[in-house]
Amino acid sequence: MLTVLAYLVVGIFLVGFAHRIWLYASCPAPLKIPTTPAPVTTSGVVWRLFTEVAFFNSLFKGDKWAWAGSYAFHGALVLVLLRHLRYFVEPLPAFFAHIQIAGIVAGLVMVGGLGLLLLRRVLIDRVRYISSPADYLWLLLLLGIGGSGLLMQFCIRPDIVHIKAAMMGMWSSTEATLPTLMVGDFIFIAHLLMVAALIVLFPFSKLMHLGGIFFSPTRNQVDNPREKRHVNPWASN
Ligand code: HEM
């Protein structure tokens, strides 16, 4: 049952994600609209996109609080997910021993960053005015995942050995079972269900900025309209 659900969740994610990327890629960009000052060469555009992904450049220029919260969240998320590999990989690479403490601190930073983003949305009038229910839903869902994770980490321990066996069982497609005896295991099941909801809804949500950033004409166009004529895809035939 768990195996079937896991494949279903990952399947919906992969098909949905690929479909959205296809839509982005096939959407024509009729105008030259890079946000200036913009790079005048292709390698400049690659560098621009890299700094955008690595440092959240334009967010930094636009909104320091949003930048601080989201940079803390995304940076910490990378470490948290890296540490989670221990549930899916056997034997673990040697470097794993060295990232354990950093991974736990990252869990705290991740939840702190999300808290900051939620406070910003609630406390700043003009941000609250443009916030939709979905904006709150994502923050609350991620806070639920992070909060239940920290609860398991610091307060109520789940049966980690059984959890690893269940996750490894999903790979080999044998029938994996979830532990349900201790309180910590119920928290784990809540953690897992929230993660499943996140993965299934991902392709239908604003979280698609993960792939969408690379298709944004204001970021991925070379600023060369004087050197090279930009042909509107609708006008070319
Ligand atoms: C199938 C996927 C996942 C499984 C099986 C899983 C399992 C767990 C478990 C068992 C813990 C407790 C760690 C311990 O007590 O040592 C934990 C902690 C945590 N989880 Fe997850 N988790 C999953 C996905 C995620 C995702 C996608 C996120 C973030 C969006 C996340 C965020 C956290 C955080 C922040 C912690 C606390 C810090 C830490 O221990 O690393 N988890 N997770």
Query: pLDDT tens per residue, the chain (237 residues)?
Result: 778 889 999 999 999 999 999 999 999 899 999 999 999 999 999 999 999 999 999 999 999 999 999 999 999 999 999 999 999 888 888 888 889 999 999 999 999 999 999 999 999 999 999 999 999 999 999 999 999 999 999 999 998 888 898 888 876 766 566 666 676 689 999 999 999 999 999 999 999 999 999 999 999 999 999 999 988 877 766
CA of 150 to the centre of ligand 1 (A): 8
Would the pTM count as exceeding 0.95? Answer: no
The per-type count for the chain, helices as H runs and strands as E runs, is 11, 0
Provide the pLDDT for residue 180.
Answer: 61
- Write a three-state SS string for 69-132: HHHHHHHHHHHHHHHHHHHCCCCCCHHHHHHHHHHHHHHHHHHHHHHHHHHHHHHCHHHHHCCC
Distance CA 10, CA 6 (A): 6
Residue among 39, 40, 63 at smallest CA distance from 51? 39
- Residue 1 has a pLDDT of 73
Closest CA to 207 of 6, 10, 8, 16: 16
Whole-number pLDDT of residue 179: 61
pLDDT at 91: 87
In whole angstroms, give the CA distance from residue 14 to residue 210.
Answer: 13
Say whether 41 sits in a helix, a strand or coil: coil
Predicted local confidence at residue 38, as pLDDT: 96
Q: Please report the pLDDT score of residue 3 as a whole number.
A: 83
Rounded Cα distance between 226 and 48, Å, is 20
Gap from CA of 104 to ligand 1 centroid (Å)? 10
Nearest alpha carbon, ligand 1 atom 8: 149
Q: What phi, psi does 221 have (nearest 5°)?
A: -95, 145
Among 77, 80, 81, 108, name the best residue to mutate to test ligand 1's pocket (greatest count of ligand atoms within 8 A of Cβ): 80
Using most ligand atoms within 8 A of CB, pick from 178, 183, 191 the residue to mutate for ligand 1: 191
Nearest to 192 by CA among 179, 206, 203: 179
CB 40 within 8 A of CB 223: yes
Q: What is the pLDDT of residue 232?
A: 81
Q: Return d(Cα 141, Cα 73) in angstroms, integer.
A: 13
Distance CA 58, CA 90 (A): 40
